[in-house]
Amino acid sequence: MKKTPNKLLALLLSAALLLASAPSMAQRAAAQSPAQLRVGLISDPHYFPEEMAGGYGDVFKEGNVLGHPIEQSPGLLRSALAALKARAGELDFLLVPGDLTRDGEYEGHVRVAEFLEQFEKETGIPVAVVPGNHDIDNGGAADFSRGEKE
């Protein structure tokens, strides 16, 4: 029962943020074409900082319950942003709909925010982020940098 109000609050906050930025996005789109809104999309990066992985050893591998190679997440996010940056003239804004981090690790959020802020600064393209279940109210956050799960 407790998670439902938090999810609802996250959804309402996300909707409010998107609505608040809608006028500037609409103005930007109207300058290009009144009938088109061109959106870049990066979904579910599950970013996990390399220095928190403890060399990607056995303890990390045992703690990785996502079922995909999380050690590739930093490179994949960088590559996705570079590809979108190369097409910046074709985009009105970038949407990142959740699961930014592996399991809500604070340092992961800080890093993803830095990447997205740099993208905005270099391209002038606004970025809209909607947190996912791996970002909010997730008790699975961990640090493996000392060779054990903390």
> For 38-97, how does the pLDDT look when each residue is reduced to its tens digit (9 = 90+)?
999 998 888 888 888 887 777 777 766 556 677 888 888 999 999 999 999 999 999 998
H/E/C letters for each residue in 10-43?
Answer: HHHHHHHHHHHHHHHHHHHHHHHCCCCCCEEECC
**Whole-number pLDDT of residue 51:** 87
**CATH 3.40.50.300 corresponds to the domain 3-129:** no
Give the ranges where 33-139 is alpha helix by DSSP (H): 58-63, 73-86, 106-123
**Whole-number pLDDT of residue 84:** 94
Domain ranges of the chain: 3-129
Nearest-Å Rg of the Cα atoms of the chain is 17
pTM for the full predicted model: 0.71
**Whole-number pLDDT of residue 113:** 93
**Whole-number pLDDT of residue 1:** 47
